[in-house]
Chain A
Amino acid sequence: MTAVASPAVPGGTAARPPRLTCGRGALISVVVLVVLAAAPLFLAPFATTTLTRVLVFALFAVSLDLLVGVTGLPSLGHAGYLGAGAYAAGWVSINVTAEAPVPLLVGAAVGALAAALTGWVTVRSAGVFFLMLTLAIGETLQQVADSWESVTGGANGLTGVPLVRLAGTPLANVGYTYWYVLAVGALGFALVAVLVRSPWGAALRGIRDNEPRMRALGYPTSLYKYVVFVVAGGVAGIAGSLLVAQQRLVTPADLGFLTSSFALLAVVIGGAGSLWGACLGAALVIVIRDALGPSLDGHGTLVLGVVFVLVVYLLPRGAAGLRPRRRRENA
């Protein structure tokens, strides 16, 4: 081997500052937010209600994407935490107060608590075992909701949830409810986006791509997976409290396998790992299921199945894969 150049000593200086934010991305976010905020001014009440459901489901899909796309933990029972948050927010609205942000905080806390109680065992499994465990937990929570009649209303669901109140004023108009859901949903989305872009989020992506390597770097990966499971449960709980604010009713079906699988469908269609993709996927799912489904003689689920198959074959990276990939710099 020939002589090598003398290397610099470690601990040197002059590092280029890290990239701060993507200006174009921020601009697009603002435009989308403005368009969404203005939507109720132009839409009919039914369309506004559908859009509200899209926003709720989008936040739920984003919370699932934190597990599936970012950390590589494919869950089939995530609706359990959505439902836990929805029931808790609904119950507190009926029995204590419907004044925001109390139902919201209670929903988030109960969603996170349910995830904390079930996650410690779950995150120690992987692959198909994780899938089956989460499915079992989701089904168990649904059974609890179905049978704990005195609190949940049993099979009839929790009915008579009052309107959310903001500074003492009930949000009686669908437009007001929509703006409330939009504001909370946007904050929830921003919270998850910040987490994903933080070093903690990079660690989660490292776990997804190669967990043994993360452990060899000194990261207690089980703890990281547990924390993200609880955070995802908390965000799903927030989505649950928005769900009950919108439909003023929670039923055991909201915790069920079908809800979890629709969310997973939204994440895959949008492109696992892309938060925007999860939102687009959620919009597609809700529009086909709730808006187009009735005019298709209830065959909305069938259409979703066809869309899913097409996406898997034609867009393996989901809708997010349509975005041009970042080119190599200084090649």
Chain B
Amino acid sequence: MTFLQVRGLVSGYDRSTVLNAVDLDLDSGATLGLLGRNGAGKSTLVLTLAGLVSPTSGSVTVGGVELAGKRPDQIARAGVALVPQGRRVWATLTVGEHLTLAAGRRTGTWTVDGILDLLPRLRERRRQYAGQLSGGEQQMLAVARALLTNPRLVLLDEPSDGLAPAIVEQIGAVITTMRAEGVAVLLVEQDLHLAFACADEIAVMEKGALVHRVPTPQFRRDPETAGRLLGVS
């Protein structure tokens, strides 16, 4: 069942248009790896879906509810969570406060206890300020913060950026768990290994539009196309 449906989404900053009529479908429990060169519009797409960049035109429905142009807090309450690029944790809040804020009064599958079981390093760091955590721990915290909103769609913007392979593996494990829980995941990544390990399908953005989308095994069997679209060999 299509959970996220994007039609003709146009978005950008001031007078600069970045997204050019993006169409995108994503099912519940599916993970789509979104690849593309720098400046292709991946992060702008994610920020627009989260409501942090206002769309110029187009439609975004999540679970049948139109969300284009809504405020970020309304979109978040509709079940969309963002794990932003660069983590963006609150340096002066403790790990525990992050978790409390994210959980709020919400009830659902993901609980603070469950998250701490899933990411035990955060349990050890619970009383520390987020600004004192390592990059990997901050990324875990950003993921935990998103999951505690009990989302139905998670937008991850380059979660492996600058992290050690062991941490990237843990993030991969969390994404797998999200999928098992029926959460739709849009994974923007530069790390092909993580995208290949987690995503059911791979899509490629170029100049603000989705230009290619195939199942992950098919993408991996076609290095020529990958090389042409991504500039990798």
Say yes or no: is B9 at the interface (Cβ < 8 Å to chain A): no
Bits for A201-214, please: 1 = Cβ < 8 Å to B, else 0.
Answer: 01101100110111
Q: Would you call A206 and B93 a contact (CB within 8 A)?
A: yes
Say yes or no: is A199 at the interface (Cβ < 8 Å to chain B): yes
Rounded to whole Å, the gap between the CB of A217 and the closest CB of chain B is: 6
Contacts of B101 in A (CB 8 A): 199, 202-203, 206, 214, 217, 219
Q: Would you call A11 and B111 a contact (CB within 8 A)?
A: yes
* Stretch of A104-112, A150-158, A225-233, A322-330 that contacts chain B: A322-330
Residues of chain B in range 72-124 having any CB-CB distance to chain A below 8 Å = 72-73, 75-77, 81-82, 84, 88, 90-93, 96-97, 100-102, 104, 109-118, 123-124
Say yes or no: is B129 at the interface (Cβ < 8 Å to chain A): yes
- Contacts A7-B118, A328-B132 given; indicate if A16 touches B123 (C-beta within 8 A): yes
- CA A203 – CA B116 in complex, angstroms? 21
Q: Would you call A10 and B104 a contact (CB within 8 A)?
A: no
Rounded to whole Å, the gap between the CB of A316 and the closest CB of chain B is: 15
Count A interface residues, CB 8 Å. 39
Q: Would you call A13 and B72 a contact (CB within 8 A)?
A: no
Say yes or no: is B197 at the interface (Cβ < 8 Å to chain A): yes
Rounded to whole Å, the gap between the CB of A167 and the closest CB of chain B is: 42
A217's contact among B96, B149, B181, by CB below 8 Å, is which?
A: B149
Say yes or no: is A299 at the interface (Cβ < 8 Å to chain B): no
Q: Would you call A215 and B72 a contact (CB within 8 A)?
A: yes
Q: Would you call B113 and A215 a contact (CB within 8 A)?
A: no
Residues of chain A in range 180-229 having any CB-CB distance to chain B below 8 Å = 199, 202-203, 205-206, 209-210, 212-221
Say yes or no: is A25 at the interface (Cβ < 8 Å to chain B): no
Say yes or no: is A12 at the interface (Cβ < 8 Å to chain B): yes
* Stretch of B31-39, B167-175, B203-211 that contacts chain A: B167-175
Rounded to whole Å, the gap between the CB of A277 and the closest CB of chain B is: 14
Contacts of A215 in B (CB 8 A): 51-52, 71-73, 76
Rounded to whole Å, the gap between the CB of B76 and the closest CB of chain A is: 3
A326: nearest residue on chain B (CB-CB)?
Answer: B129
A8's contact among B118, B127, B168, B194, by CB below 8 Å, is which?
A: B118
**Best-surrounded residue of B72, B176, B177, B193 (most CB of chain A within 10 A):** B72
Rounded to whole Å, the gap between the CB of B139 and the closest CB of chain A is: 14
Say yes or no: is B50 at the interface (Cβ < 8 Å to chain A): yes
Say yes or no: is A18 at the interface (Cβ < 8 Å to chain B): yes
- Contacts A202-B101, A216-B82, A330-B124 given; indicate if A10 touches B111 (C-beta within 8 A): yes
Q: Would you call B76 and A1 a contact (CB within 8 A)?
A: no
Q: Would you call B92 and A1 a contact (CB within 8 A)?
A: no
Residues of chain A in range 133-191 having any CB-CB distance to chain B below 8 Å = none
A223: nearest residue on chain B (CB-CB)?
Answer: B73
Contacts of A329 in B (CB 8 A): 125, 127-128
Q: Would you call A212 and B52 a contact (CB within 8 A)?
A: yes
B75: nearest residue on chain A (CB-CB)?
Answer: A216
Query: Which A residues are within 8 Å of any B CB, using their own CB?
Result: 1-2, 4-16, 18-19, 199, 202-203, 205-206, 209-210, 212-221, 273, 326, 328-330
- Sample (28) of A-B pairs whose CB atoms are under 8 Å apart: A1-B172, A4-B169, A4-B176, A7-B118, A7-B174, A11-B111, A11-B114, A12-B116, A12-B117, A12-B118, A13-B113, A14-B117, A15-B113, A199-B104, A212-B72, A215-B51, A215-B52, A215-B76, A216-B73, A217-B76, A217-B81, A217-B101, A217-B145, A218-B73, A218-B77, A218-B149, A328-B128, A330-B125
Query: Which B residues are within 8 Å of any A CB, using their own CB?
Result: 50-52, 71-73, 75-77, 81-82, 84, 88, 90-93, 96-97, 100-102, 104, 109-118, 123-129, 132, 145, 147, 149, 168-170, 172-174, 176-177, 181, 193-194, 196-197
